[in-house]
Structure 1
Amino acid sequence: RQSNNDRVVKNWAVLVTVYQLLSKFLHEMDEDYLLPTWQDVILDTVRTLRQERASEVFLDILGQLIAGGQAVIDDDMKNPRDYPPGVTVVGYKDEGFVYLLPEIAHREVIRVQPLRFTVTAIGMQLKEDGLLIPGPNNLSIQKRVRGGRVRFWQLTCESLGCDT
């Protein structure tokens, strides 16, 4: 996170300098070109940074896999359904949360688009974004599925755009 902040600060320093020089140059040339307002530049920078975040890319690709029927979030953790071959269960929806199987979801996402981030790094970003509710000792919690204890990421339902 610190390296991202450092990068943003350095990028802004360059942007401010270039903007000031360009503005001064255009003023001296008596040109009436309109430079983008600072708000537009800020919004574009924020959008670009969010698109670069592994957590955003991860959730976007996962959402596409779910929408395309290649992955599914089952709505019954106590009695999970059997799905046809080629459809991967990446989690369960229950109690207003999505319980994501992090390793399985990550495996499905990197088949579509390789990510330079580990499962843990993505989980940390999701936590920073307020989308992952961590367990008491780590990012995951345990729940029982089909008689076995399974490790999940507990995500807010809004993180994947599901209805409660």
Structure 2
Amino acid sequence: MYLNNGAGGYIVYRKAGKGKYSKLANINKNTILSYTDKSAKNGTVYTYKIVACKTAGKTSYNAADSNQKTIMRITSSKVTKTTNKAGGYQIQYSVKSNFAKANTVKVTGAKKSNVTIAKLAKKKYYVRVRSFKKVGKTTYYSAWSTTKNVVIKK
């Protein structure tokens, strides 16, 4: 689609399928370079065209129609069910925020959801977790979680 430097604005037209065009929006500034059709329905094929327009006094002038653009509206999927596919987790903890000299505890079995780490000193620890899954001889790791701070008081 083209932009007309002399335009005062644009009119956006839309048609669904093989229907007739209807006015969708008036854009009254020639500085707006995009438009989002928020009323488009999922799975519908739409064709859009844009007409440059200008008002001089009480008279409005419209340019010739732009090229037409045909698209299909497809929304993103929604998550309706999740399953745990991890083979286990790694829990990493350290007294340094950059995890230098960190200790790592491996927890196997996706159903195990809590772990106790014994004999920690009364200090502040930085903790993060990631999941893993072994497929054949290769182990795949997720990214590390965000870091949490834990203070051991006893």
Q: TM-score, normalised by structure 2?
A: 0.18
Structure 1 or 2, whichever has the larger Rg, is: 2
Comparing both structures, which one devotes a greater share of its residues to strand? 2
Q: TM-score, normalised by structure 1?
A: 0.18
Comparing both structures, which one devotes a greater share of its residues to helix? 1
